[in-house]
Structure 1
Amino acid sequence: MRILLTNDDGIHAPGLELLEAIAARLSDDVWVCAPAEENSGAGHSLTLSQPVRLHRHGEKRFAVAGTPTDAVNLALRKLFPDRQPDLVISGINHGENLADDVTYSGTISAAMEAALAGIPAVAMSQAFRDSGHGFSAAEAWAAKVLAPLTAVPIARRTVINVNFPALPAEAVKGIRVVRQGFHDYARGSLVEGVDPRGRPYYWFGLEDIEHTLDHGTDLEAVGDGYISVTPLHLDLTHHASLGTLAERYAG
């Protein structure tokens, strides 16, 4: 099995190093193509206004001066002329990607780019929340989560979003397959300051986001000490509204 690894935290991120070690247990054909720098919150952005450069960091390790989407796009077009990867894994992200935050996530978007190309894709994130447990849960549980995903086909144009709770490995209660949750917005905090040249700046923060802990969601699962596994798909159509809108435009 050929596996491509990527992330949004950058080529030198400890979560990617951990993911490489985990992927090596699954295959001897593991490739890495990740952004050269951190791109957290980049979403599904594609660089169009300037060239994107590819830098080699080893036999099968590459960095891209661009976004997570750029990294996957360029890897699929340039690194694999003979055979595409059988699986793309994005992560392991420093921080959870839950509920509607998936729309901001470069980690999720890198996996989405692979899914758009018809390649099974998994995004993996480790919650931290100043817990002091680091990647403990992901290190112990990631291979257990990946094993069933490599044994059965993943639906086309679907991303499997995995989040590990901010707990020591032995405290994780298990794995739950759940739906995407939703946040209660107002959206985070806004930090205002003045730079050394006297110009105002603004810095978005996330600490004030309220979580809506509906039953059966990724938010609830991780909050209860479980690993959440959520299938996300790329069809954003609200199908229930199609009939109503069609009636309004019917002439």
Structure 2
Amino acid sequence: MKVLVSNDDGLDAQGIQTLAATLSSEYHTRVVAPDRNRSGASNSLTLTRPLQPVQVREGQYRVDGTPTDCVNLGMSGVIEDSEFDVVVSGINHGPNLGDDVIYSGTVAAALEARHLGRPALAVSLVGNTHFDTAAKVALLLLKRLITDSHSLALPPKIILSINVPDLPYESLSGIKITRLGHRHSAQPAVSAQHPRGIESYWIGALSEPYDAASGTDFDAVKNGYVSITPIHADMTCHSVLSTLDDWAGSISI
């Protein structure tokens, strides 16, 4: 079993290094990650210049691009041992709950893997302390997914977004399958002082959730459970197709 590991916090982030070390104890692992923090990069690809993957240490490569670039290159034959069976993205420094997945480079890396025909997990720690807990959870779930692959039979193009409470492993309440909750709109942009007087701003911080009801990822993590949310890239709103079809039929061109 060959595992490709990537993230959006950068190659030297504690999360990915902890994850890689844990998975390497059981599987043949290669790490391909951005050369710096690319949080919020979403599914962006670098198309305006060439990319330069560099081997930093045995089995680990940095790329001057986005998380999606990293997975794309990692599975394209550029990296040694590129016939990977599965991709694990993370461990993200902080949550990817609810609407966070729209912006998340960690989730995007996993989606790119699924787009290229490989199963994928996106793993996030809801905090910045117990990375070992998230790594143990990732290894456990990966083992079970491999063992149960035939009986589980997930639909194509599905990834699993996993959020782990920032707790010692033995303090976790268990696992819950969840749906995405929703946050309020992001807070306003914040003015930043520029030494040359140029008008500049920080993007506003995330807001608190407004939909954190039972069954959501927010609720599960709040109560100490590992949240597993199935995500797919089909953004079609199937429930309104019939209504829109009738509406469009009434329009003459």
Aligned structure 1 segments of 4 or more residues deviating by more than 4 angstroms: 80-83
Distance 1:207 1:102, change over 3 A: closer
3-state SS, counterpart of residue 76 of structure 2: helix
- Aligned letter for 2:141? V
State the TM-score, normalized to the length of structure 1.
0.91
Q: Which residue of 2 aligns with 1:227?
A: 226
What CA deviation, in whole Å up to 9, does each residue of 1:95-123 have, x standing for no partner? 01011110100000000000001100000
Aligned to 2:185: 186
Look up the SS of the partner of 2:12 in the other structure. coil
> Is this contact kept in 2: 1:188–1:209, CA < 8 A?
no
CA contact (8 A) 2:8 2:34 kept: yes
Aligned position for 2:146: 150
Between stretches 227-236 and 188-197, larger displacement belongs to: 188-197
Aligned ranges 1:172-183 → 2 under 5 Å: 172-183=172-183
Q: 1:226 to 1:214 in 2, by over 3 A?
A: same
Q: Does the CA contact (< 8 Å) of 1:163 and 1:222 recur in 2?
A: yes
- Counterparts of 2:45 and 2:129, CA distance in 1: 34
Aligned to 2:131: 135
Following superposition, the deviation at residue 78 of structure 1 comes to 2.6
Distance 1:99 1:11 in 2: 25
2:22·2:136 contact (CA, 8 Å) conserved in 1?
A: no
CA distance in 2, matches of 1:189, 1:209: 13
SS in 2 for 1:79: coil
1:49 and 2:24 aligned: no
Deviations 1:155-209 (A, max 9, x none): 32111100001223332111111112222x2213422122111122111242533
| 2:214 alignment partner, SS class | coil
Give the whole-Å Cα distance in 2 for the aligned partners of 1:84 and 1:181: 35
- Partner amino acid, structure 2, of 1:244: T
Q: Distance in 1 between matches of 2:89 and 2:136?
A: 17
Residue identity opposite 2:163 in structure 1 = N
Closer, same or farther: CA 32–151 of 1 in aligned 2, 3 Å: same
Question: Could you tell me whether the CA contact under 8 Å between 2:89 and 2:110 is conserved in 1?
Answer: yes
Matched, 1:96 2:92: no
AA aligned opposite 1:229: I
Counterpart Cα distance in 2 of 1:47 and 1:6:
16
Structure 2 unaligned residues grouped into runs of 5+: none
Q: Which amino acid aligns with 2:193?
A: V
C-alpha distance in 1 between matches for 2:204 and 2:133: 25
SS in 1 for 2:11: coil
Whichever residue aligns with residue 176 of structure 1, its letter is: K
Unaligned 5+ segments in structure 1 are: none
Q: Deviations over 1:80-138 (max 9, x none)?
A: 6876211000000100101111010000000000000110000000011xxx7442531
Q: Measure the CA separation in 2 of the matches of 1:55 and 1:82.
A: 15
Are the equivalent residues in 2 in contact too, given 1:189–1:208 (CA < 8 A)?
no
* Structure 2 counterparts to residues 197-212 of structure 1, below 5 A: 197-212=196-211
C-alpha root-mean-square deviation of aligned residues, in Å?
A: 1.8
Match of 1:122 in 2: 121
TM-score by length of 2: 0.91
Q: Any conservation in 2 of the 1:122–1:159 contact (CA below 8 Å)?
A: yes
Alignment partner of 1:37 is 2:33: no
8 A Cα contact 1:189 1:207, kept in partner: no
Separation in 2 of the partners of 1:136 and 1:84? 27
Residue identity matched to 1:242: L
Q: 1:142 to 1:75 in 2, by over 3 A?
A: closer
2:177 & 2:83 partners in 1: Cα distance?
A: 28
Report if aligned partners of 1:98, 1:219 keep a CA contact under 8 Å in 2. Answer: yes
Partner AA of 1:234 in structure 2: A
Counterparts of 1:21 and 1:43, CA distance in 2: 25
Shift of 1:224: 1.1
Q: 1:234 to 1:208 in 2, by over 3 A?
A: closer
